[in-house]
Copies of this chain bind each other. A is one copy, B any other.
């Protein structure tokens, strides 16, 4: 049998997990694997960048799950600093440019193709946004550049644009480095991945931590040393519709969108968010020999029944496993997500799963919502701290639709109980009988999630049809 040729575009979590899994199932004689990565690093934890910047983790090496050398030792032909610039699906080949070597271009043929091109940060087209001192934090190269700026910067004022996961994590990192931090958030509350009432709890906690958090702030530009002209000097302030916030460094945390320029140019099917569309085996729809996974695809939201874009390393790794199994002749599927996310800012833990109120409405669902305050441990046990749990349930059926949690130690990962219950399609009434682990150091006798389920059960009953 001739050796099959697998080409992978993108050498981070999804791409290299696919490569590793395929290699487990197929020898180099059976399957030749070539992976192209335009950056300097491979298989790294982008999610760890805020902790590297904050000095809690020695980066970048610690953030690399598997080095290029380790991949190559397993007969994966990994080429760093190689950018794929075109897909030629008709002839089964990709065009690459060597970024460090005079830009030499060449074609590589494939029998099977994996697209794992990731996501690119949102960067609004505002004056000064590209000035030195304005940083994204999407790649290890971004992290290194930000650290270089911080090391070189004489000042101690940082502005973070966006109060989502990356924004709040970067706020914590900069606080740890001794910066005065201002976070500018366009929405009514930070963490717009929560309902506003839960976001308000985050706002309150961030203020108490000494993080200036400005809500409803529309950023209008970045002022530089020589004024606001694009291409001018270093960033020195961020302006909003109302005010000017001095900044020695600016960090952008505005989320990401799928990086599918290549796929679009090749005519591959994209969804409303711009992510690639795949089947359950992570094959690109209509293309038997092309797979896609990680931050460049859309996934099925099992709660709303709709497609969405979720950029998370844990999904990317699962996608890679599924792709590698299928490419290697095995069988696996990725059924979808329920929208779980967890984060923290200093000691505040923030988590969600399922749908927010606005998402439930957009999905056409009628629901009740309740919020409870309970403690992470038995109230009498040392370290017991309040936590808030918000729960949404469908009217009539009582099906769980979503949970949001804001609290301290032990609060965040409690969202997993709801994630499993959502996956199983449980009603909130059934949840009230869940046999969750109980002992005073771990939980009150009624776990906070169960307290919320009881209240939601009553709300469903009271709401009637």
Q: Are B380 and A343 in contact (CB under 8 A)?
A: no
Q: Please, could you name 15 A-B residue pairs with CB atoms under 8 Å apart, sorted by A?
A: A47-B378, A47-B438, A56-B381, A57-B440, A62-B380, A312-B438, A314-B438, A318-B432, A343-B439, A349-B442, A351-B437, A410-B410, A412-B442, A413-B442, A420-B436
The answer to whether the Cβ of A460 comes within 8 Å of any Cβ in the partner chain is no
Tell me which residues from 387 to 434 in chain A have a Cβ below 8 Å from any Cβ of chain B.
410, 412-417, 419-421, 423-424, 426, 430, 432-434
* Cα distance A314–B102 in the bound complex, in angstroms: 68
Question: At the interface with chain B, which of A92-100, A192-200, A334-342?
Answer: A334-342
How many whole Å from A359's CB to the nearest CB in chain B?
A: 15
Question: How would residues 56 to 92 of chain A score, 1 for a CB under 8 Å from any chain B CB and 0 otherwise?
Answer: 1110001101000000000000000000000000000
Q: Are A435 and B57 in contact (CB under 8 A)?
A: no
A45-B445, A57-B380, A334-B433 given; name 6 further pairs at CB < 8 Å: A62-B380, A65-B445, A340-B438, A419-B437, A421-B424, A423-B424
Check A342/B438 contact, CB under 8 A, given A382-B57, A417-B417, A420-B421. Answer: yes
* Cα distance A313–B378 in the bound complex, in angstroms: 12
Tell me which residues from 307 to 343 in chain A have a Cβ below 8 Å from any Cβ of chain B.
312-315, 317-318, 321, 333-335, 337-343
> Copies per complex?
2
Q: Could you say which of A424, A426, A435 has the most chain B C-beta atoms within 10 Å of its C-beta?
A: A435
How many whole Å from A365's CB to the nearest CB in chain B?
A: 19
Question: How would residues 434 to 455 of chain A score, 1 for a CB under 8 Å from any chain B CB and 0 otherwise?
Answer: 1111111111011100000010
Q: Are B435 and A340 in contact (CB under 8 A)?
A: yes
**A47 contact set on B, CB distance < 8 A:** 378, 438-440, 445
